[in-house]
Structures are given as structure tokens and as C-alpha cells.
Amino acid sequence: MTPIRVEETGVEPVTVAEMRGYLRLSSDETAEDALIAGLIPAARAAVEATARRLLRPARFRVMLAAWPRLGLMPLPLSPLVAVLRAGLVDGRGTLTEIEPGPVRVGPDPWEAPCLLFGPDLPPLGTAAALVEVSAGCGGEGPPVPEPLVQALRLTIADWFENRGDAGRDGAPGPLPPEAAGLAAACRRMRL
């Protein structure tokens, strides 16, 4: 079971205007705006991977062939915000909605994101279960922790200043050490 990102539902944690100020670019120079706009999502993805946290809200879909035996399913989506819908999908792809009440977010959506399944769920038989959740900071979720926002700023600034130092494939380098330290301090641990 791998959550599939269906839709980004929020905005980036930092804006081009904010990064222009952080980089101390004059307000009348806009030639670098496209570069900054491209660095923001790339740096966000790098910080997310290091911290194992989602810094932008999104909607995810999970398909299950069977209900979890113990009524608990860990998800690699931190923070997990809400169950948006649940349903049964038959062999023709027809979705029959079920009340999301028996499917809910676990008690610690930040450190131990999981779904809890109640005992009164309909049997799946030949159908599959579809669960859509929202996850990520911002929007309906918690705000992005300041250390992760700072890690994002530091990464964008480093990649902006050292843009010619990328590898042969043109990809930006790793997180700068200061940003990596901030992201690691907020990292979600795995068992």
C-alpha cells in the first residue's frame, strides 16, 4: 500500500517575494524570479525527504485489498490531517461511498501518522477499499515548523548562490549542512 498523491491543495511554504527579500535582491530586478520559483518546489521536496514531513498540503489516495487485521494502518504522511472519504470499489471501478466515521486519523498525526479502522466496516469481498486523506502542513493542517521553513530558505539561498556548482545532470546539490541539521532535528523517526 503506497499513498498516491492526487492533488496539491495549498501553497508553497515560502513565496518568491519572501525569497527575494531573504536573498537581498532589489525590488526592481525580476530577472531571477523564474529561477527562484523553480528552486522553491525543488528545495521543499529535498527538505521534505530529509525531515520525512510534508511541508505543503495535499490529497492522497490509498487502495486496500483487505481491511488491516488489527484495525491500524501506518502511513508515511506526516502530518496526517483528515480522512476525506472512504468507499468500496468494485471490479468495474464503481465507487460506493461509506461513512468515513469507522475510518479515522490516529491519535498522533504528527509523530505516528496512521489510520484507525473500526469493527463495523462492510466486508470487502471482491471489492477494494479506497481511502482519501489530506496530509501536510499549511491549509487545514498545522503550520510549517519554523526550523523547516528556515531549512527551506537556507537551501534555496545556497542553490541560488551556487547554481553553477550543480552536478553534470544539472540537479541542485544536497541540502547545505545548516539546512540539513535543521531538517534532521524535525525528522519523523521510523521504527
pLDDT at 165: 66
| Residue 22, amino acid | Y
Residue range 9-50, pLDDT digits in tens:
889 999 999 999 999 998 787 889 999 999 999 999 999 999
Q: Does 125 score more than 90 pLDDT?
A: no
Q: pLDDT: is 173 or 13 the higher one?
A: 13
What percent of the chain is modeled with pLDDT above 90? 69
Query: What integer pLDDT is reported at residue 29 of this predicted model?
Result: 78
Contacts of 175 (CB under 8 A, 6+ apart): 46, 47, 50, 151, 155, 183
What's 57-117 look like in SS3?
CEEEEEEECCCCCCCEEECCCCCEEEEEEEEEECCCCCEEEECCCCEEECCCCCCCCEEEE
What's the one-letter identity of residue 123? P
Mean pLDDT score of the chain: 90
Instruction: Quote the pLDDT of residue 190.
Output: 66
Quickly state the pLDDT bin for 166 (edges 50, 70, 90): low
pLDDT of 135 reads 96
- pLDDT for position 99: 81
Work out the average pLDDT over 54-71: 93
Mean pLDDT in residue range 91-102 = 86
Q: What is the pTM of this model?
A: 0.86
Is residue 62 predicted with pLDDT exceeding 60? yes
